[in-house]
Structure 1
Amino acid sequence: MTELRDAALASKAWPFEEARRVLKRYAKAAPEKGYVLFETGYGPSGLPHIGTFGEVARTTMVRRAFELISDIPTKLICFSDDMDGLRKVPGNVPNQEQMKEDLNLPLTKVRDPFGTHDSFGAHNNARLNAFLDSYGFEYEFASATEYYKSGKFDEALLKALHEFDKIMEIMLPTLGKERQETYSPFLPVSPKTGHVLQVPTLERNLEKGTIVYEEPDGERVEVPVTGGNVKLQWKPDWGMRWAALGVDYEMFGKDLIPSAELSSKICRVLGTQPPELFNYELFLDEEGQKISKSKGNGLSMEEWLTYAAPESLSYFMYQKPKTAKRLYFDVIPKAVDEYHQQLRAYPGQDLKAQLNNPVFHIHGGDVPASDMVVPFSMLLNLASASSAEDKATMWGFIGKYAPDATPETHPGMDAAARYAVRYFNDFVKPEKVYRAPDVQELAALEDLVAALKSPEAALEQIAKKNAVMGNDEPLPEADYGDEDFLQSIVFAVGKNHGFEPLRDWFKAIYEVCLGASQGPRFGGFIALYGVDETIALIEKALAGELG
């Protein structure tokens, strides 16, 4: 354990770097509350999405890293801002007219348009909990409504009342002139309508702990700032929450940097050190535009998980969080294959390399073995060549390539076969464009077929290539079950036909035979698909029967 901790303390993996920042807060003494608190925030005016997953997954990685370098207990709170007033009706929910009637009510008072829970907030909170539970996250759920009404925030709210002027000094310069005239950090919950009101604070009574405001009908009303009678505007609310709970670490999107700076100032005004903050870059769509829930651009979490396992999404989230990443369908196969490459590499790595390996952080150190005997990108090309409509077709080839593998012994491989068929039919198949070979390509493909049919022809191609390259090494044994031998045939044919660069030869194979401009290591593809099947595929392509 000492060796592991020492290595973790020196590791340059970003979760350990973040964990060390948190540990510095308690270099002199452990926290009075008895634990280090990590927090993620959730706005339940919408359903959980890929950003929610990323934030909880990344925060969990930092929390686990912290637990390796410190004996201080930790907690992760997933905080739902469910006391916010409903300002607009989401476009992706039913009962739109009913929702319009409930505008400005706290989300936990808005009727559930789905009819399954006591409120829209409760519905989305349940979705959040189910969502987080399904991925095995360890967390405590926190509801703003419950925290405000139970009095958990009362002390901090009274402190905010006392520091009203300082909070206003922080907030007003960030607002337009018209907004400055009506702004108050306190949003009273109307005892008449239940609405969360955005109205000025007219009077403050520090001894009584109350504010006075004016209802829309002109009546002046005095309410306590405690007990759930008011809610803070979200930036003061964020800073107040940090102060009240003693939050030690929180991450957020780059677009919230100005808000986090204001909330940090407010947290200090309330007498507490703000948490260690980490801002991550935003996700972009294929065109480089920021992903927006309202626009519906980019890739949703549900879409990713239709075509790949959640571990591949965690891998994508781990990679360079400070770098903007394009999040669209084409990134899925690469993420899946890189994730499994890291799984396979992990057992042979030394401790330093293991701590820098993304799979250590994805799995909290309990790293499973990969059972992917065939790369995902290869499965896609297999689906393309075989026009697979179900995973049983895929297993017909996988079983010949890896006789010891079955759906029962290799569940990850089985799931990947299912995902590959879906991905192929939804994204690859509609985009397939075959072309006829040119004269050079035609001659090379004919020679490739001949070499796949005859060991003598294959060895002749390899010998010719060796002579051209000045290579006097002995010829390999002709083994059509060996993907390296098959690859050497393909390589030799390309060299002998003068393809320069050689990648043009492989590109030609993909475009003529698979209808795509890129593909797998072709020797491996032949081994998986079958020599006879590959011969038939090339002959169909040359006969113009694939387009």
Structure 2
Amino acid sequence: MSDEEKIVIGKGTWIDKLASEMIEREKQLGRDTKLLKVESGLGASGIPHIGSLGDAVRAYGVKLALENLGYKSDLIAYSDDLDGLRKIPEGLPDSLSEHIAKPVSLIPDPFGCHDSYGMHMSSILLDGLDKIGIKYNFIRARDTYKNGLLKEQIHTILINSEKIGNKIAELVGQEKYQKFLPYYPVCAKCNRLYTAQSYEYDQSRRVVKYRCVEAEIGSKMLKGCGHEGEADISKDLGKLAWKVEFAARWHAFDIRFEAYGKDIMDSVKVNDWVADEVLNHPHPHHVKYEMFLDKGGKKISKSAGNVVTSQKWFRYGTPKSMLLLLYKRITGARELGFEDIPALMDEYNEIEDIYFGKIKVDNEAKLLKTKGLYEYTNLLNPPKVSSVHLNYRLLIELCRIFKEDRKNMVAKKLVDYGTIKNSDPHVEHLIELAGNYADDFEEDEPTKIEISSEAKKALAQLVGVLESDKELEDLQNVIYNISKENNVQPKDFFMILYQIIINANRGPKIGPFIVDIGRKKVAQTISRHI
């Protein structure tokens, strides 16, 4: 049977495949499938970047796919705001250093607008999800522990702590939980988390005994305050170590799916075992995704300064462009920067044209997959009609020319070129985004284009004409004649010029467009390609 004849699951994307594998597994486990909960963990210790947002967006995609296959599903967005602050993220005040190792929900918000540092960071992420249209059920670690929602799981884990400590050493080579319990109380005296090491559990009273000692935090040694005390696991603030906490959460909230980044593979390996063998709750279905990297190939990190946030993204691109980035695929590390936005904006237009049949795709499998991707990018609620399409790089070029009264001037040019009939709020919004991009970024590096030797000769001749101070009556005609003289088909020559100037195969009438951008500027751009 050929690939084309295979049964298509849902909308034919990787998201549908994942949802269907998950349902299959649930049936094999014989579990109730009335409500299938998916979870995404939100880090609250640093500035949330696109990777953190991507985790929740993809989990929501799985929720949509499950609903599309006829199941009820819920996304839980869990903020780990009891996590201790390990280091000060770049750009934040040094005054935070006195709060190192304290749970982020106990640290005051340095910006003064939320109840804590942790809630400030979570709210940035939730704002991004709201702008994209993701629906979620928000749960905070602080409330989860405070309200004793994990107390039974904590109890079971602490009773089995010796077995767990040995298994952690066996699975991932980490030996510290053979010496200490996998539970950190918040020290009653100094409010720190990781310095308070618990060494004994009294089962009957459900209290851990701990002492606040020196601990390694974010590759630095931090002195404890020396306090010795007891903490009640159902009343006093404290949290499970990461190596066991996911398992407790999965059990308590009945989670059936959670994706994870490869940087926490070890934690997931241990948590899966704890869920299966200690808590007797089969671990959720997983998918592993790669990290987003910055353009230098480094992992985008909340505490380094190389953060691509959704708030900054929406200054230049639409929420749809971000959803497209996140739903296109899940595997493979990807270098990511704001300079990817123009291509994503234009790619969205292309998949919309395929969806509405304006671009023909002969390969049936590719057509189905592209239509499915378009539907997920619209959160399975696609519009009835296509939007007005404008080449984003064309807009950037026009915004570089017109800085004063930009919206009117650029819209007027688009009407002159015959690109639009008239302006509307959608067009104005796109001009605003492209204008921000034009103001904030230098021109992009030229993309590599295959150019024949004849076309190169024609381009060199055109550069000479554009650089000369000679008045030109009709540049369109001059370009046409140059292509003929050099044995290049005029339509091919125009296409090369569009590719060089706006990275597209077509655009407005080339002669007037070059005059608008500026003859000398275009001559420089062409020269970089020959």
TM-score normalised by structure 2 residue count:
0.80
- 1:307 aligned residue (303, 316, 341): 316
Please report how far the alpha carbon of residue 281 of structure 1 lies from its aligned counterpart in structure 2 after TM superposition.
1.4
Q: Which runs of 5+ in 1 are unaligned?
A: 1-5, 459-488, 511-515
Q: Would the aligned equivalents of 1:383 and 1:394 in 2 still touch at CA under 8 Å?
A: yes
Count of paired positions: 491
SS of the residue aligned with 2:105? Answer: coil
Question: Which residue number corresponds to residue 80 of structure 2?
Answer: 81
Q: Would the aligned equivalents of 2:76 and 2:136 in 1 still touch at CA under 8 Å?
A: yes
Question: Which residue number corresponds to residue 220 of structure 2?
Answer: none
Question: Which residue number corresponds to residue 272 of structure 1?
Answer: 281
- Matches for 1:235-384 after TM superposition, within 5 Å: 235-268=243-276, 269-297=278-306, 299-348=308-357, 353-354=367-368, 356-357=370-371, 358-368=373-383, 369-384=385-400
Q: Tell me, in whole angstroms, the C-alpha distance in 2 between the residues paired with 1:132 and 1:222.
A: 40
Q: Would the aligned equivalents of 1:284 and 1:298 in 2 still touch at CA under 8 Å?
A: no
Q: Tell me, in whole angstroms, the C-alpha distance in 2 between the residues paired with 1:139 and 1:53.
A: 12
Q: Does 1:494 find its partner at 2:491?
A: no
Q: Tell me, in whole angstroms, the C-alpha distance in 1 between the residues paired with 2:462 and 2:184.
A: 75
Q: Would the aligned equivalents of 2:48 and 2:302 in 1 still touch at CA under 8 Å?
A: no
TM-score normalised by structure 1 residue count:
0.78
Q: Tell me, in whole angstroms, the C-alpha distance in 2 between the residues paired with 1:454 and 1:187.
A: 74
TM-superposition CA deviations, 1:396-421 (whole Å, max 9, x none)? 1112234864333xx33322212222
Q: Tell me, in whole angstroms, the C-alpha distance in 1 between the residues paired with 2:115 and 2:324.
A: 37
Q: Would the aligned equivalents of 1:452 and 1:535 in 2 still touch at CA under 8 Å?
A: no
Structure 1 window deviating more from structure 2 (60-69 vs 445-454): it is: 445-454
Q: Would the aligned equivalents of 1:282 and 1:324 in 2 still touch at CA under 8 Å?
A: yes
Could you say if the C-alpha distance between residues 534 and 238 of structure 1 is closer, same or farther in structure 2, counting changes exceeding 3 Å?
A: same
Could you say if the C-alpha distance between residues 372 and 228 of structure 1 is closer, same or farther in structure 2, counting changes exceeding 3 Å?
A: farther
SS of the residue aligned with 1:416? Answer: helix
Please, what is the CA RMSD of the aligned residues? 3.9
Structure showing greater Rg: 1
Could you say if the C-alpha distance between residues 324 and 202 of structure 1 is closer, same or farther in structure 2, counting changes exceeding 3 Å?
A: closer
TM-superposition CA deviations, 1:445-490 (whole Å, max 9, x none)? 78999999399x68xxxxxxxxxxxxxxxxxxxxxxxxxxxxxx75
- 2:406 aligned residue (390, 405, 417): 390
Could you say if the C-alpha distance between residues 137 and 450 of structure 1 is closer, same or farther in structure 2, counting changes exceeding 3 Å?
A: same
1:363 aligned partner, one-letter code: N
TM-superposition CA deviations, 1:206-253 (whole Å, max 9, x none)? 233222223456664333322344311112112211122111111122
Structure 1 window deviating more from structure 2 (346-355 vs 57-66): it is: 346-355
Q: Tell me, in whole angstroms, the C-alpha distance in 1 between the residues paired with 2:515 and 2:309.
A: 40
TM-superposition CA deviations, 1:106-154 (whole Å, max 9, x none)? 2221122222233222333333333322322111100111111111111
Question: Which residue number corresponds to residue 451 of structure 2?
Answer: none
SS of the residue aligned with 1:9? Answer: coil
Structure 1 window deviating more from structure 2 (194-203 vs 307-316): it is: 194-203
- Matches for 1:84-483 after TM superposition, within 5 Å: 84-94=83-93, 96-97=94-95, 99-173=96-170, 174-175=172-173, 179=176, 182-216=179-213, 220-268=228-276, 269-297=278-306, 299-348=308-357, 353-354=367-368, 356-357=370-371, 358-368=373-383, 369-384=385-400, 390-402=406-418, 405-408=421-424, 411-429=425-443, 441=459, 443-444=461-462, 453=474
Higher RCO, 1 or 2 (CA under 8 Å, sep at least 6)? 2
Please report how far the alpha carbon of residue 379 of structure 1 lies from its aligned counterpart in structure 2 after TM superposition.
2.1
Q: Would the aligned equivalents of 1:235 and 1:259 in 2 still touch at CA under 8 Å?
A: yes
Q: Tell me, in whole angstroms, the C-alpha distance in 1 between the residues paired with 2:493 and 2:442.
A: 21
Q: Does 1:53 find its partner at 2:53?
A: yes
TM-superposition CA deviations, 1:78-133 (whole Å, max 9, x none)? 00111122333333334x32x33333332221122222233222333333333322
Structure 1 window deviating more from structure 2 (342-351 vs 252-261): it is: 342-351
SS of the residue aligned with 2:338? Answer: coil
2:354 aligned partner, one-letter code: A
Question: Which residue number corresponds to residue 481 of structure 1?
Answer: none
SS of the residue aligned with 1:187? Answer: strand
Question: Which residue number corresponds to residue 502 of structure 2?
Answer: 519
Please report how far the alpha carbon of residue 311 of structure 1 lies from its aligned counterpart in structure 2 after TM superposition.
0.8
Percent identity between the aligned chains?
25
Please report how far the alpha carbon of residue 20 of structure 1 lies from its aligned counterpart in structure 2 after TM superposition.
0.5
Could you say if the C-alpha distance between residues 146 and 395 of structure 1 is closer, same or farther in structure 2, counting changes exceeding 3 Å?
A: same
